[in-house]
Amino acid sequence: MKLIVGLGNPGKKYEETRHNVGFMVLDKLAKKLNFSFEKKFNSEFKKERETIYLKPQTFMNLSGQVVKEVAHYYNIDNGNIWIIYDDIDIPLGDWKEKHEGTSAGHKGIDSIIQELGTDEFARLRVGIGRLTIDANEDRKKIVENYVLNKFTPEQIIEIDKVIQSLVEEFIIPKLISNQNGR
């Protein structure tokens, strides 16, 4: 069993914000694979064959609670958990795969590491654009404002392209190869 988690914040206020890229990827995946989510485990949830798709409906910094609950309920090994989320250190229009390590300050990943008791799970980090912050500026406040704001119209075009590519060229082929036993 595989668990694919898209991170974001619930509610209309946060739709299409940079911090909700994980939700955006799962929405695109649901559209491509022709499924819809149901409400379960304090999340938007779908179990299809041997894969669970999950959008926690807690706020970002509590995402680990839902991930832990679902992983334990379905007895999912940490090596079969994929977390998809925004990364401010990756340029807009790019994404990277990672399999373990620190959260690099991402509160959703902090929560998941704390709840699972490990940092050994796959991550698909979607770039939302790098910020240049002056040493005299309040980094925490600037980053928080940036990730909680919506993409510009130009950025939406770019993020849609990277999401499409991630879904069609990486996630779906990986799911198919896993279903075929490879």
Enzyme catalytic residues:
19
Which residues make Cβ contacts (< 8 Å) with residue 133, sequence separation at least 6? 139, 142, 143
Which residues make Cβ contacts (< 8 Å) with residue 168, sequence separation at least 6? 32
Residue with tokens 């990943």: 109
Can you give the three-state secondary structure of 98-135, one letter per residue? ECCCCCCCCHHHHHHHHHHCCCCCEEEEEECCCCCCCC
Element (H, E) at 32: helix 21-33
> Number of H helices and number of E strands within the chain?
6, 7
The Cα-based distances of 115 to 64, 71, 165 in angstroms read 5, 11, 31
Q: What is the biggest distance separating any 2 CA atoms in the chain, rounded to whole angstroms?
A: 54
